[in-house]
Amino acid sequence: MQKAYISKFKRMLKVLSAAVLLITAVGSFNFAAFYGAESRAFSNSAPVLNIEDAFLDLSKPAELTDTLVGSATVAATQKTESIAKSTAPFVNTDSSNSDNNSNPVLTPIQKVGSSIANFSAPLPIKTGNKIKGMLASKSDNMVYSLEISQRGYIVLELSHSLPSAPANAWNAVLYEEYNSTGIGGEIKYRPLGRVSSTLKDTDVATSEKIGVYPGNYIIVVSSGTAFSPTEFYIKADFTATFDYEAGYNDTITRYNEITLNKPIKGVMNEGEQPDSDWFMFRVDKKGFVRISFEHEDLKLPQVGWKIYLYDQWENELYYAKSNFNDTLVRSGLIGLDEGYYFVNISQHIHSEAEYTLTVSFEQSNLAESEYNDSIETAMPIETGKQYKGSISERSRRTDKDFFKVTLPMDGSVALLFEKEPINDQKDGWNITLINKDGEVMYSAVAKLSTAKIESPRIGLAAGEYYVVIDSENRTLNTAPYTISLDFDATYYWEAEKNDTMAKANPISVNRDYRGSLVEIGIDFDTDWYSFELTGESRVSVSFSHNAIEPYLNKGWLIQLVDKDGRVIKSVTSRWGDGGDAVVSTEEAVLPAGKYYVKVDTAEYYNSATYILKVNAR
């Protein structure tokens, strides 16, 4: 018995001697405990080891006193200290004493480094076995290594047998081993998840499910906020599955690849920084994806998670929030081209609830292609074909869908917008046709209750035009819509934008031309035409259209104008002046020169197609 006490005393002296040597070597070291443990810095200028530039030397033999519970076999009984090596200078946490190469702000990884710089060599363990251990001091660590041969998840269990253990007496952290510079590179460790000892006596504290890939891992047990020089029990349970997030997937460059139409589960692991899970999927054919995010009802109204979708250029394509009392958040249809895309699940308020993410896909050659939020990124379309899209929620701005059409010659187009109506009179979509300079050729607003909006025929010159669908300043609805453009090639249709005398369409006398007054928001269209007389002529302007009810409404005002803007003759056409009922201005005798015809709304706007003719003899 006396020899045993002497042996323990010698071991304690060895530990104290090693600590003194370490402090002497590196100055006042910061032993701030990881994940909420008290800071035990010896001075304000304590150097902190940068874990990104350091690795843990686990190659030395160690005296191990931990015993496998329920087994007659006692593990190897060697234990010695192993000091983390650094290939870069220490970083000073005191900004007043730092030089230009120092970083006074600790990153999360550096904070990890400050608490695990001094490791014992690991005791190899197997998953599913309960291990008994004990810490010699508050700054002591017990380290266990395990190898995982297939993908799955680990649950850490931490317990004790004291009748009244202090609150948070132990912390256990799971780290994954990785080569920082590729195969044969420097071995480093990064934290994946943790568990702390329970408040209740002898209860088992369990971590969330921690997804892992095949590889090497270590578990570090350290003192919590209150040190307890008594035995603890640690166990790592493993479940093999390909349907769980795995590894360190906290950035867009460290993602889990997922399969379309196949659910994957995950959880926000507790840490010093909010967890963030990244997933990548590939689209091999053009089509639509729909993102579904599910979890149990936690009966709280607060936001728990944020869901993002990005393309490979990190353009945000979709954003949503999931409250704790939600059970399902689902996106609308999101049109995507072939390529790589990323889903990010971001923790807003930590919860141990498990979530299920599904990215479903349906192939479609007529799907809009995100990212198409500007003229520069517009999706090319063809006239005479139908295309399907939807407006997605975004975190910072409104989604806009741009479609580019190229007209090979002059003519007229008709834009058709269709969707499923709902019983709601709120405005939902802005529908706009613009030219390459951003000038509006046509605009309309579709209500949520609207099933279809069809533009009048719009005369356009050859060139590039853009259909824009958005919900800016409207009620967002992610339901799918369809658009199509009908094109009629002709040189005898007015060409927008001819809203002023300066932009008048040149026409020939004694020939029919078609046109329409196009709605542009709250403004009404005006059509201007110009013609040349080579000699003195008797001139009149005739105007016709289909009959429209109510017949007595004064719809169009037609004016014959000289080059100075003075009205020479005018006539008004009622809605009922249709069919063979052609209205005409009185004849005017005009000398050679340039003249204009202006078509405007008289009292009641109507977008019906009209036929205009300048008669000259």
Highest mean pLDDT among 14-18, 68-72, 338-342, 551-555: 338-342
Residues 485, 505 within the same domain: no
Residues 517, 482 within the same domain: no
DSSP annotation of 58: -
Report the CATH number that the domain containing residue 405 is assigned in CATH: 2.60.120.380
Under DSSP, is residue 600 helix (H, G, I), strand (E, B) or coil?
Answer: strand
- How large is the average pLDDT for residues 593-600? 97
Residues 63, 128 within the same domain: yes
Query: What DSSP string describes 386-428?
Result: EEEE-PPP-SSS--EEEEEEEESSSEEEEEEEEE---S--SEE
CA distance 355 to 263: 10
Residues 484, 546 within the same domain: no
Last residue of a domain, one of 210, 241, 272: 241
Structural domain contains residue 370: no
CA distance 307 to 295: 13
Residues 16, 149 within the same domain: yes
Structural domain contains residue 404: yes
Say what the pLDDT of residue 603 is. 93
Structural domain contains residue 291: yes
- State which H helix or E strand residue 568 sits in: strand 567-574
Last residue of a domain, one of 241, 266, 299: 241
CA distance 429 to 187: 55
CA end-to-end span of the chain, whole Å?
Answer: 132
Residues 151, 260 within the same domain: no
Domain of residue 299 covers 256-363
Structural domain contains residue 521: yes
pLDDT above 90 for 121: no
% the chain with pLDDT above 90 = 60
More reliable by pLDDT, 325 or 35: 325
- How large is the average pLDDT for residues 501-507? 96
Q: Token pair of 408, please? A: 């090979």
pLDDT tier at 271, thresholds 50, 70, 90: low
Residues 99, 14 within the same domain: yes
Residues 484, 505 within the same domain: no
Structural domain contains residue 494: no
Say what the pLDDT of residue 533 is. 97
CA distance 459 to 483: 18
Residues 56, 142 within the same domain: yes
Q: Token pair of 311, please? A: 């393309």
pLDDT above 50 for 95: no
pLDDT above 50 for 115: no
Q: How many CA atoms lie within 13 A of 45 on its CB side?
A: 8
Q: Token pair of 65, please? A: 């006193």
- How many domains in the chain? 4
CA distance 126 to 121: 16
Query: Residue 218's closest CA among 76, 127, 122?
Result: 122
Structural domain contains residue 368: no
Residue with tokens 């990190």: 314
pLDDT above 80 for 169: yes
Residues 349, 481 within the same domain: no
Structural domain contains residue 246: no
557 and 594 Cβ atoms separated by less than 8 Å:
no
Residues 13, 95 within the same domain: yes
Q: pLDDT tens digits for 218-270?
A: 999 998 888 888 889 999 999 999 999 988 888 898 899 999 999 999 998 87
Say what the pLDDT of residue 501 is. 96
388 and 367 Cβ atoms separated by less than 8 Å:
yes
What per-residue string of b and e applies to 558-580 under the rule 16 or more CB within 10 Å gives b? bbbbeeeeeebbbbebbbebbee
Last residue of a domain, one of 434, 466, 489: 489
Q: pLDDT tens digits for 308-357?
A: 999 999 999 999 999 999 999 999 999 999 999 999 999 888 888 899 99
Q: Token pair of 556, please? A: 């169009």
Structural domain contains residue 251: no
pTM: 0.70
Residues 16, 114 within the same domain: yes
- How large is the average pLDDT for residues 502-529? 90
Q: Token pair of 150, please? A: 């297939």
125 and 142 Cβ atoms separated by less than 8 Å:
no
Say what the pLDDT of residue 191 is. 87
